[in-house]
Amino acid sequence: MSKLLKLTIAQCIGLFALVGIGCLGAMVLVAMSGLIGDAMEAQAARQQAVSMALTRPVTAPIGDGFFVRDGKLKLGEEIINGDQALVDEIHQINGGVATIFMDDVRLAANVLTPDSTRRIAAWIAQIEPSKQVA
């Protein structure tokens, strides 16, 4: 504390300027991370809407709307849990990963594990963080 009192006026002004710049930088960082997070969330919502539109030709003949009954995800009267044919058909349309989730559990997917089995019934928390997609 005694060394702080021995600073010259110029040193005190410089120290306060550095602290102020650091605080300003932190505030800008927080604001930017919020904006980036909002933009990523909006992009994910748009991508989800596009993906759902692409799947309509596949899902429309099965039923009109997804819902949960007795712990099972249903499309019309068809149970979707574990329906690998549905995700394979969707994969053929979009060429990418096809996964059906209920809450945070993967019910059906064309995502493979290292031993080439399908990664289903996996909680999102069990998926490697680098592989999680919004």
Read off the pLDDT of residues 54-72 as tens digits, 9 standing for 90 and up.
Answer: 788 888 888 888 889 888 8
Residues in the chain: 134
Q: Which of 100, 4, 125 minimizes the C-alpha distance to 48? A: 100
User: In the 8-state DSSP scheme, what is residue 96?
Assistant: S
> Do 102 and 131 have their domain in common?
yes
Domain, as residue range, for 32: 1-59
> Do 82 and 51 have their domain in common?
no
- The pTM is what? 0.54
> Do 125 and 95 have their domain in common?
yes
Question: pLDDT digit string (tens) for 63-116?
Answer: 888 889 888 888 888 888 888 888 888 888 877 788 888 888 888 888 788 888
> Do 28 and 78 have their domain in common?
no
